[in-house]
Chains A and B, each alone.
Chain A
Amino acid sequence: MKHWFRLHGLAIARTLKALLRHPVSNGMNLLVIGIAAAFPLGLYMVISSVGGIAQKLPVEPQISVFLKTDAPAEAGQALLKQLQGNPDLQEVRFVPRDQALKDMQAAVGVEDLLGGLDSNPLPDAIVLKARLDAPALQLEALQRQLAGNPAVDSAQLDSAWAQRLQHLLNLGRNVLQATVVLLAAALVLLTGNAIRMQILTRHDEIEVAKLIGATDSFIRRPFFYFALSQGLLGGLIACGIVVGGIVWLNPAVADLAQAYGQQFSLRLPGPLEVGAVCAVTLLLCVLGAWLAVRKHLHKYH
């Protein structure tokens, strides 16, 4: 066991020496790994930040249909019947004008809201809640159709922008997945190539060591430590880039949100996310090392 630790200690020392022997090229490599990993992490932070407020917005599209005040009651009831049969809708609620007035009084907190008015000016309304999976186009068509109904004064498709935000988030998630896959492949190739170069430049050393009785694991070990250090440091650099970027962007983001009457800022990665990023970059770099070592070291025998 002591022997095992000693061998690994030696390998770590050799790895550090090798890193410091080419500080520029290894530093560049680290930076490239960091930048590559910063893309998906940054995108993830944006998506999870936006997703946070998006969840507070009404997500199910809702259509409010206001009937004409002079429309006959039967026309309203007929429309209600017709809508209740629509499979895209999960809830169809009739809100009589008296109820609407009461709701409004409760919301505003004024008992005698009408004051001098001699009658309730509010129309009867039908509130429709669409199913979550209802196609947006169909809902827009329904909204147009309702607006054209002679008994209807106006029909408003609410939370359309929340819906769009939701679509945008979904798109963002898809882009994130694609980015993760592409950059994962990039990291594997990057480390694999760096290690291939090292194997080439250390050809003499590997050959002699092998000839005088070095084991395969002795030869491989420094390359894996190299990959481990690259993965870990690359992950930390990625987190640094993202934190720096978010801190720099946040004032502008907050201003933009303010313009929409929202309080919003981008979230910084937490310890769990930093750990996850480092673990992933580490694993990918080690995978790259494993592939390169498998391909390029077996000729030494």
Chain B
Amino acid sequence: MIQFQQVTKRYAGGFEAVKNLSFEIQSGELLFLAGHSGAGKSTLLKLIAGIEKPTAGAVLVNNQNVARLSRASLPYVRRHFGLIFQDHKILFDRSVYENVKLPLDITGFNGMEAKRRVLAALDKVGLSGKEKLNPISLSGGEQQRLCIARAVVHRPAILLADEPTANLDRDNAHDILELFKSFHQVGVTLVISAHDETLMADYGRRILRLKNGQFTA
């Protein structure tokens, strides 16, 4: 489903965040991405979603080279993904409900069915009854759940979560990972990054360990 072919990413300024990586992610897989801060986890996830373009090599999603996509078709490919950003990117000028609805807005999905989907997503992450609140009034864990609801509301086939458990206490982190597990069980492909590997151990899945932009054993 996702293929990296000798992918290198060099940022403007010359820093190589990802060095000659080749790997594959199967459809329906739950993959962890481990590594310290600065190892290249975010860069790798951005390469999958086509947010960054590889300096060398190719990233294929469903056999499509993401870097080759035209500016016009890139948005439609992005909609296959549910993205959970490391810096959350919550919009504080609108309600929880409006935040979660955004992915539906951009596809023109509207009306009762949209409302039902937003409320279902909020229910799924345990934020029922908080839809009218401003996200500023949510706790750290709740904000993370809001991000997850927004990422799944349009029912993407692939979920990319960048350090979704960072800054959360252990219980909260576990709840979040349980949530991801439930998505995995219904066939969603997941790539989850974290700098704290101890959490992943409990799940016994495939782990890719990154260090200075390269895989380590």
| A residues at B contact (CB < 8 Å) | 3, 6-7, 9-10, 204-205, 207-216, 218, 301
Residues of chain B from 27 to 82 with CB closer than 8 A to chain A in the complex:
49, 51, 71-72, 75-79, 81
Asked if B110 and A212 sit within 8 Å, CB to CB, the answer is: no
Asked if A212 and B105 sit within 8 Å, CB to CB, the answer is: no
Residues of B within 8 A of A3 (CB): 108
For the complex, what is the distance from the CA of A204 to the CA of B98, rounded to whole Å?
14
Question: Smallest Cβ distance from B192 to chain A, in angstroms?
Answer: 18
Q: A205-B93, A208-B91, A212-B79 are in contact. Are A218 and B106 (CB under 8 A)?
A: yes
- Interface range, B side: 20 to 34
Q: A205-B91, A205-B93 are in contact. Are A10 and B105 (CB under 8 A)?
A: yes
Asked if B108 and A214 sit within 8 Å, CB to CB, the answer is: no
| Other A-B pairs beyond A212-B78, A215-B106, 15, CB < 8 Å | A10-B105, A10-B108, A204-B93, A209-B102, A209-B106, A211-B85, A212-B81, A212-B103, A212-B150, A213-B76, A213-B79, A214-B75, A214-B106, A215-B76, A216-B72
Question: Smallest Cβ distance from B48 to chain A, in angstroms?
Answer: 13
Residues of B within 8 A of A215 (CB): 72, 75-76, 106
Residues of B within 8 A of A208 (CB): 89, 91, 102
For the complex, what is the distance from the CA of A208 to the CA of B108, rounded to whole Å?
16
Partner of B89 from the list A6, A10, A211 (CB cut-off 8 Å) is A211
Asked if B51 and A211 sit within 8 Å, CB to CB, the answer is: yes
Partner of A301 from the list B71, B79, B85, B93 (CB cut-off 8 Å) is B71
For the complex, what is the distance from the CA of A301 to the CA of B50, rounded to whole Å?
10
Interface string of B87-128 (1 = CB under 8 A from A): 001010100000000110111101000000000000000000
For the complex, what is the distance from the CA of A208 to the CA of B75, rounded to whole Å?
12
For the complex, what is the distance from the CA of A7 to the CA of B104, rounded to whole Å?
11
Tell me the nearest residue of chain A to B106, going by C-beta.
A214
For the complex, what is the distance from the CA of A204 to the CA of B103, rounded to whole Å?
14
Asked if A216 and B71 sit within 8 Å, CB to CB, the answer is: yes
Question: Smallest Cβ distance from B175 to chain A, in angstroms?
Answer: 24
Question: Smallest Cβ distance from A240 to chain B, in angstroms?
Answer: 33
Residues of B within 8 A of A209 (CB): 102, 106
Residues of B within 8 A of A6 (CB): 108, 110
Asked if B110 and A10 sit within 8 Å, CB to CB, the answer is: yes
For the complex, what is the distance from the CA of A215 to the CA of B108, rounded to whole Å?
11
- Supply 16 A–B pairs (Cβ within 8 Å), ascending by A: A3-B108, A6-B110, A10-B105, A204-B89, A204-B93, A207-B89, A209-B102, A210-B75, A211-B49, A211-B85, A212-B78, A212-B103, A213-B76, A213-B81, A214-B106, A218-B106
Tell me the nearest residue of chain B to A7, going by C-beta.
B108
Residues of A within 8 A of B110 (CB): 6, 9-10
Question: Smallest Cβ distance from B105 to chain A, in angstroms?
Answer: 6
Asked if B146 is at the interface of the complex by the 8 Å CB criterion, the answer is no
Question: Smallest Cβ distance from A213 to chain B, in angstroms?
Answer: 3
For the complex, what is the distance from the CA of A218 to the CA of B105, rounded to whole Å?
9
Tell me the nearest residue of chain B to A215, going by C-beta.
B75
Question: Smallest Cβ distance from A281 to chain B, in angstroms?
Answer: 29
Question: Smallest Cβ distance from A7 to chain B, in angstroms?
Answer: 4
Asked if B18 is at the interface of the complex by the 8 Å CB criterion, the answer is no
Tell me the nearest residue of chain A to B94, going by C-beta.
A205
Asked if B161 is at the interface of the complex by the 8 Å CB criterion, the answer is no
Asked if B149 is at the interface of the complex by the 8 Å CB criterion, the answer is no
Residues of B within 8 A of A10 (CB): 105, 108, 110
Residues of A within 8 A of B81 (CB): 212-213
Asked if B83 is at the interface of the complex by the 8 Å CB criterion, the answer is yes
For the complex, what is the distance from the CA of A3 to the CA of B106, rounded to whole Å?
12
For the complex, what is the distance from the CA of A3 to the CA of B105, rounded to whole Å?
12
Asked if B71 and A211 sit within 8 Å, CB to CB, the answer is: no
Residues of B within 8 A of A211 (CB): 49, 51, 78, 83, 85, 89
Nearest 10 Cβ contacts at the A-B interface: A213-B78, A213-B79, A214-B106, A7-B108, A213-B75, A215-B75, A208-B89, A6-B108, A212-B103, A218-B106
